[in-house]
């Protein structure tokens, strides 16, 4: 057993080599999100440009050629009062048991803020949570609402958003993005800067603190990506003045394009770390195995 220390050393070299790669990739700082259940953020974003009002002076539309924000009634081309009437009935049926008949929230046993106040949140917030299937919540006690297939239609979701907004007008209105002049390369750079820390550079998603996670961004409809960016669901920060509508459009083009349909350039897919990091892992493991083999062969000759 006199060669045991050498074997130990070789194992240590292999271990350190591999570990250093993990330390290197894990050091990118992760945010420390708050409790996922207290998410209320009234009025995230205000009308910026191209404001259009109706006869009574109410804002029904604003935005630019990149993103147009409209009231639900304006989007569907129906009357405001009709839509609110339908929305109120749908809300009472699907939402009031948790969020209360006045939509002002109800504390859940021992978890204040578990049923958030929806008043003044803006139609884009309500629309996002319904159309991403998060609401009505299947299990309201989970640390974070889960994306699912929506059980409520697009028009019904807009009707509910219209009624909630009639209680107290909020922004943003519901966005519609136009990708025709989008720059995917600009979107990729902005994504790396603003989103990849949580969702990873491949958009595959990742765990955050306290049991929460940034979900996968693969195959999310384009207008829901705008809604998420502009309203910041759950533990995601909202991006308002710091990203222009044109920049958001570019990010959406990247998220619904190359990220949703990734080109597979081969490789092992070690968590999609990318060729350089994956190469280092290969190197560390390979060198470690070779070192062990070398020591084993050496031991034989000496014996
Ligand atoms: C079974 C209870 C339940 C029902 C029913 C329900 N919700 Fe919720 N809702 C919750 C809980 C719990 C949260 C907090 C989830 C989180 O933050 O992850 C929430 C969060 C939300 C949010 C996010 C609030 C914010 O501040 O970001 C919106 C918007 C919302 N619900 C709308 C609705 C609408 C509209 C309906 C009806 C279609 C509905 N909910 C039905 C329990 C419920
Ligand atoms: C601090 C971490 C963080 C950053 C930065 C971040 N997100 Fe998020 N994102 C989250 C979390 C957490 C959720 C899930 C929220 C929930 O369901 O409670 C989320 C949800 C989403 C969703 C909804 C996906 C679904 O399952 O419905 C989209 C789309 C999205 N993010 C896009 C982006 C984009 C684009 C950026 C950059 C502009 C970005 N995010 C930046 C943490 C982050």
Q: Is the shortest distance between the CB of 31 and ligand 2 below 6 Å? A: yes
Amino acid 13: pLDDT: 54
Q: Which residues form ligand 1's pocket by a CB distance below 6 Å?
A: 36-37, 39-41, 94-95, 97-99, 114-116, 118, 121, 125-126, 129-130, 135-137, 140, 144-145, 152, 160, 234
**Whole-number percent of the chain with pLDDT over 70:** 75
**Shortest-distance atom of ligand 2 to CA 39:** 18
Provide CB contacts within 8 A for 153, sequence distance 6+.
none
Quick check: 2 and 8 in contact, CB under 8 A? no
List, as one string, the DSSP characters of 49-101: SS-EE-TTS-EEEEE-SSEEEE-HHHHHTS-HHHHHHHHHHHHHHHTHHHH-T
Evaluate if pTM is beyond 0.85. Answer: no
Kindly report, residue by residue over 159-218, the tens digit of the pLDDT. Answer: 999 999 999 999 999 999 999 999 999 999 999 999 999 999 999 999 888 888 999 999
For ligand 1, atom 31: residue with the closest CA? 135
For ligand 2, atom 2: residue with the closest CA? 198
Distances (CA, A) of 89 to 44, 150, 167, 169, 241: 26, 18, 14, 19, 35
- In 3D, which of 193, 192, 198, 191 has the Cα closest to residue 252? 191
**Shortest-distance atom of ligand 2 to CA 144:** 18
User: Distance between CA 124 and CA 164 in Å, rounded?
Assistant: 11
The helix (H) or strand (E) run that includes residue 284 is helix 275-302
Amino acid 249: pLDDT: 97
**Shortest-distance atom of ligand 1 to CA 141:** 12
Q: Is the shortest distance between the CB of 237 and ligand 2 below 6 Å? A: yes
Q: Which of 129, 214, 233 to mutate to test the pocket of ligand 1 (most atoms within 8 A of CB)?
A: 129
Running DSSP on this structure, what letter comes out for residue 102? T
- Count of positions (residues) in the chain: 303
Q: Which ligand is nearest to the CA of 111?
A: 1
**Shortest-distance atom of ligand 2 to CA 128:** 27
- In 3D, which of 76, 244, 74 has the Cα closest to residue 154? 76
pLDDT tier for residue 292 given thresholds of 50, 70 and 90: confident
Strand, helix or coil for residue 168: coil
Name residue 108's beta-bridge partners. Answer: 111
Kindly report, residue by residue over 85-123, the tens digit of the pLDDT. Answer: 999 999 999 999 999 999 988 776 666 666 888 998 999
Q: Is the shortest distance between the CB of 144 and ligand 2 below 6 Å? A: yes
Six-digit token pair at 179? 């990708």
Running DSSP on this structure, what letter comes out for residue 134? -
User: Distance between CA 303 and CA 121 in Å, rounded?
Assistant: 77
**Distance from Cα 215 to the centre of ligand 2, integer Å:** 7
**Distance from Cα 233 to the centre of ligand 2, integer Å:** 7
List, as one string, the DSSP characters of 236-276: SPP-STTS-HHHHHHHHHHHHTTTTS-----S--STT--HH
Query: Which of 109-118, 147-156, 204-213, 287-296 is least confident?
Result: 109-118
**Helix/strand/coil percentages in the chain, nearest 5:** 45, 10, 45
């Amino acid at each position: 057993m006199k060669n045991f220390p050498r074997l130990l050393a070789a194992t240590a070299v292999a271990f350190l080599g591999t570990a250093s790669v993990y330390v290197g990739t894990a050091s990118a700082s992760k945010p420390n999100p708050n409790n996922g259940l207290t998410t209320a953020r009234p009025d995230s974003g205000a009308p910026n440009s191209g404001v259009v009002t109706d006869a009574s002076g109410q804002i029904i539309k604003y935005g630019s050629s990149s993103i147009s924000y409209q009231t639900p009634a304006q989007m569907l081309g129906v009357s405001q009062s009709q839509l609110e009437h339908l929305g109120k009935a749908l809300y009472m049926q699907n939402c009031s048991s948790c969020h209360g008949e006045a939509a002002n929230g109800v504390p859940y046993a021992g978890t204040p803020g578990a049923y958030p106040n929806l008043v003044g949140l803006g139609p884009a917030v309500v629309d996002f949570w319904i159309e991403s299937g998060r609401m009505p919540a299947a299990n309201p006690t989970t640390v974070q609402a889960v994306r699912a297939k929506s059980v409520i239609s697009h028009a019904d979701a807009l009707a509910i958003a219209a009624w909630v907004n009639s209680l107290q007008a909020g922004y943003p209105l519901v966005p519609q993005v136009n990708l025709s002049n989008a720059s995917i390369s600009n979107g990729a750079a902005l994504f790396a800067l603003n989103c990849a820390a949580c969702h990873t550079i491949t958009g595959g998603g990742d765990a955050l603190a306290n049991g929460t996670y940034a979900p996968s961004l693969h195959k999310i409809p384009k207008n829901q990506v705008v809604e998420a960016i502009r309203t910041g669901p759950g533990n995601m920060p909202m991006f308002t003045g710091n990203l222009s509508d044109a920049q958001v459009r570019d990010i959406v083009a990247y998220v619904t394009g190359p990220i949703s349909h990734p080109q597979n350039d081969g490789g092992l897919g070690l968590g999609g770390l990318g060729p350089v990091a994956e190469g280092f892992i290969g190197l560390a493991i390979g060198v470690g195995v070779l070192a062990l083999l070398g020591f084993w062969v050496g031991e034989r000759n000496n014996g």
